[in-house]
């Protein structure tokens, strides 16, 4: 929908849209303040380090002993070798500082608090999952994917569902157009959970609809990430949403002080409406995602999916879990009971008579002890017999996924990946290009999207298996962030995603060995230097 006009999304001017303009002005001044504050902290750290340098000779021997003991500890600790390797460099360069940073990173108080709270909430939310015998009965009807159904239910508390209808969106314009239509017919509740939220034309249009739905008695809740929306003060955005009658919460409010506990961001994109309709994908709430403005690229290529049917309840549950994490007082289960009891689900949803599709919505986070999102991708690769199509903005993968991609290609499966030709994060782009070289050497086809920037997070195989969601092919999505996705089996949306891939590939150029050699030398140099710390990016 490249030719959509602003009229579809532009809200009527009023006093609140004028307030939004003021918020946009505040965004930039706040960003400069935050960057300046962090820079001052860096200068203080640098000053202290230089002062201590004169005493280096006195604690050199101690540092060597501590480093050896730490490395022995690290080798014998469970975990990915890539993460262990990433910590060796700072420990070798500055032993005391590196080791201290490691334990701050791994055992930070914020993370311990978050892990405990998530565990309590999941113990409550489990009561509102479909019973195991019901999930097993559905899975038995789909023997080809029975194994992934078993894994996701027992490891990720993600049940499978049948009788659904899915719709794939190949761009943000289509995503928002359909979302607006569905919001306009909401009856009971609307839940939003997004990583990036900015005052913009799209936001103004959504708020216009939401304020009308609130007048009709619809309950509206909004959860946004403080880092994703860092340009705007969380309190300002909360107050702005409150002026429309919207209940809102901030995921891990950002404080511009060094704190490793702030590393685990809510990168999910979820809209759940009445337990009837859900949306997810890569789209955030800014005009750039709907191509209403061109900030950095000529075109922003993204993707998303809409689900109708019983599977929507999983997205509602995911939202309620995240919402309750932000409760300052004791966790209350009334929210779950109100929206997730069998009676409430039946009242707010209907069996989709037109839907026949099998889907599994799933969530992932840094505290569940499982690489759920990565394992879903690896499962799709292992199932592939003829072709695999992948669209991703970042390509920074661990050894396990790299070997799975290589083995899939070695089995004779055609593996194709579309990545951006341009960068939005320079270091991530450079590191990703080092993996590109390794993969094309193994016969995997990689293409650069040249029209603009590709932000889609899609993997399909053989027009039978697929996943669409918020998950990138990088360490942040697999290990640090809270993410969500939808595993798809024999759905029409998989076929549409593959058609989108074919269409998008026409706007790409293949990265051959000759083309790779023409990549600027400093891009390759930065990539090789920072690849060792890729797990921490």
Which pLDDT does position 21 carry in this prediction? 55
pLDDT (tens digit per residue) in 377-395: 999 999 999 999 999 999 9
Does one domain contain both 274 and 400? no
Task: Give the dihedral sign, CA 374/380/385/387.
Answer: negative
- Three-state SS for 79-91 is CCHHHHHHHHHHH
Short-list 340, 357, 358, 369, CA closest to 154:
369
Does one domain contain both 193 and 261? yes
* Cα(207)–Cα(221) distance, integer angstroms: 12
3-state SS, residue 424: coil
Domain membership of residue 351 (yes or no) is yes
* Cα(339)–Cα(301) distance, integer angstroms: 34
Which pLDDT does position 58 carry in this prediction? 63
Which pLDDT does position 303 carry in this prediction? 97
Answer for the pair 476, 415: CB distance below 8 angstroms, yes or no.
no
Which pLDDT does position 191 carry in this prediction? 98
Does one domain contain both 385 and 297? no
pLDDT (tens digit per residue) in 306-363: 999 999 999 999 999 999 988 766 566 668 888 887 665 655 554 555 668 999 999 9
User: For 86-90, 177-181, 332-336, 487-491, which range has the lowest pLDDT when averaged over its residues?
Assistant: 332-336
Does one domain contain both 326 and 428? no
**Domain ranges, residue 530:** 372-536
148 CB contacts (<8 Å, ≥6 apart)? 360, 376, 379, 487
490 CB contacts (<8 Å, ≥6 apart)? 357, 358, 464
Q: Is the pLDDT of residue 366 over 50?
A: yes
Answer for the pair 265, 481: CB distance below 8 angstroms, yes or no.
yes
Q: How many CB atoms lie within 10 A of CB 521?
A: 7
User: For 11-15, 89-93, 411-415, 505-509, which range has the lowest pLDDT when averaged over its residues?
Assistant: 11-15
User: For 99-108, 199-208, 285-294, 467-476, which range has the lowest pLDDT when averaged over its residues?
Assistant: 99-108
pLDDT (tens digit per residue) in 198-253: 888 999 999 999 999 999 999 999 999 988 876 555 778 888 899 999 999 998 87
Which pLDDT does position 296 carry in this prediction? 81
Q: Does 148 or 29 have the greater pLDDT score?
A: 148
Domain membership of residue 229 (yes or no) is yes
* Cα(290)–Cα(264) distance, integer angstroms: 27
Does one domain contain both 180 and 324? yes
Does one domain contain both 435 and 513? yes
Domain membership of residue 68 (yes or no) is no
Q: Is the pLDDT of residue 1 over 50?
A: no
* Cα(383)–Cα(142) distance, integer angstroms: 14
Does one domain contain both 204 and 178? yes
Does one domain contain both 382 and 339? no
Domain membership of residue 377 (yes or no) is yes
Q: In the structure, what pLDDT confidence band is assigned to residue 5 with cuts at 50, 70 and 90?
A: very low
pLDDT (tens digit per residue) in 103-132: 767 666 567 778 888 888 998 899 899 999
Which pLDDT does position 239 carry in this prediction? 84
Q: Is the pLDDT of residue 536 over 50?
A: yes
Q: Is the pLDDT of residue 29 over 80?
A: no
pLDDT (tens digit per residue) in 444-469: 999 999 999 999 999 999 999 999 99
Does one domain contain both 331 and 405? no
Q: Is the pLDDT of residue 61 over 80?
A: no
| Phi, psi (rounded to 5 degrees) for 51 | -65, -40
Question: How many separate domains does the chain show?
Answer: 2
Residues facing residue 465 across a β-bridge: 461, 489
pLDDT winner (highest mean) among 58-62, 239-243, 412-416: 412-416
Does one domain contain both 266 and 400? no
Q: What CATH number should be reported for the domain holding residue 502?
A: 3.30.870.10
Q: Does 414 or 250 have the greater pLDDT score?
A: 414
């Amino acid at each position: 929908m490249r030719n959509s006009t602003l009229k579809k999304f532009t809200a009527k001017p009023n006093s609140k849209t004028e307030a939004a303009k003021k918020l946009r002005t505040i965004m930039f001044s706040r960003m400069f303040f935050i960057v300046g504050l962090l820079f001052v902290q860096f200068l203080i750290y640098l000053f202290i380090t230089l002062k201590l340098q004169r005493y280096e000779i006195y604690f050199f021997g101690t540092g060597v002993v501590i480093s050896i003991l730490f490395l022995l500890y690290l080798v014998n600790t469970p975990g990915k070798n890539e993460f262990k390797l990433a910590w060796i460099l700072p420990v070798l360069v500055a032993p005391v500082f590196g080791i201290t940073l490691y334990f701050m990173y791994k055992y930070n108080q914020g993370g311990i608090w978050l892990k405990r709270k998530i565990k309590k909430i999941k113990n409550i939310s489990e009561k509102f999952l479909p019973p195991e015998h019901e999930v097993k009965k559905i899975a038995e009807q789909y023997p080809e994917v029975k194994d992934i159904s078993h894994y996701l239910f027992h490891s990720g508390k993600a049940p499978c569902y049948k009788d659904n209808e899915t719709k794939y969106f190949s761009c943000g314009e289509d995503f928002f157009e359909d979302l607006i239509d569905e919001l306009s017919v909401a009856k009971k509740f609307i839940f939003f959970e997004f990583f990036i939220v900015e005052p913009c034309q799209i936001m103004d249009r959504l708020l216009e609809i939401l304020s009308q739905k609130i007048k009709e008695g619809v309950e509206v809740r909004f959860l946004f990430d403080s880092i994703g929306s860092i340009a705007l003060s969380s309190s300002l955005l909360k107050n702005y949403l409150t002026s429309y009658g919207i209940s809102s919460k901030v995921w891990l409010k950002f404080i511009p002080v060094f704190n490793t506990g702030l590393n685990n961001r809510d990168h999910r994109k979820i809209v759940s409406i009445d337990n009837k309709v859900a949306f997810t994908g890569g789209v955030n709430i800014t005009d750039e995602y709907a191509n209403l403005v061109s900030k950095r690229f000529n075109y922003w290529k993204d993707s998303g999916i809409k689900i109708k049917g019983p599977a929507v309840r999983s997205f509602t549950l995911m939202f309620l879990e995240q919402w309750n994490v932000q409760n300052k007082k004791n966790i209350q289960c009334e929210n779950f009971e109100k929206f997730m009891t069998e009676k409430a689900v039946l009242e707010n949803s209907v069996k989709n008579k037109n839907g026949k599709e099998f889907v599994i919505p799933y969530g992932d986070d840094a505290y569940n002890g499982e690489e759920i999102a990565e394992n879903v991708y690896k499962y799709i690769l292992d199932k592939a017999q003829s072709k695999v199509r992948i669209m991703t903005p970042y390509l920074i993968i661990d050894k396990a996924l790299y070997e799975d991609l290589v083995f899939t290609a070695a089995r004779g499966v055609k593996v194709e990946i579309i990545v951006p030709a341009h960068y939005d994060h320079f270091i991530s782009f450079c590191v990703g290009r080092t993996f590109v070289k390794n993969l094309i050497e193994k016969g995997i086809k990689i293409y650069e999207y040249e029209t603009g920037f590709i932000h889609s997070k899609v993997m399909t195989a053989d027009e039978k298996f697929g996943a669409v969601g918020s998950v990138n092919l990088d360490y942040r999505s697999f290990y640090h962030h809270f993410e969500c996705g939808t595993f798809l089996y024999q759905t029409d949306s998989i076929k549409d995603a593959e058609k989108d891939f074919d269409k998008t590939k026409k706007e790409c150029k293949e990265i051959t060995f000759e083309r790779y050699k023409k990549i600027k030398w400093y891009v390759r140099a930065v990539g090789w230097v920072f690849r060792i710390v890729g797990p921490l990016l």
